Amino acid sequence: MDHDSQSIDAQLRLANLECLGAIDEVTRWLARTRDLVSCGESYSREAFRQSLVEVQEGLLGAELDLAITLFEFERAMEEQAK
């Protein structure tokens, strides 16, 4: 195995780990959403709305990060296949 193929393998492993981390982040935001909804009756309407907006923004950001890391992972896989 030459240096270039080792570098590509390392890039693929790193991209894989980044994808898994991004998936975990989306999962955490979904869990926060579930927790918010499950105890929503204990919030005032305004507090619930504010918390919901914060959770939605976090989830959207995490989903965007996941989409980017999936794209980078796919590119790393393509490089390895060459």
CA 7/CA 76 separation, integer angstroms: 10
33 neighbors 55 (Cβ within 8 angstroms): yes
Taken in order 56, 59, 65, 71, the sign of the CA dihedral is negative
Q: Is the pLDDT of residue 10 over 70?
A: yes
Assigned token pair, 28: 């955490």
pLDDT band at 63 (very low <50, low <70, confident <90, very high): very high
Identify the residue with better confidence: 79 or 16. Answer: 16
- The reported pLDDT for the residue numbered 8 is 78
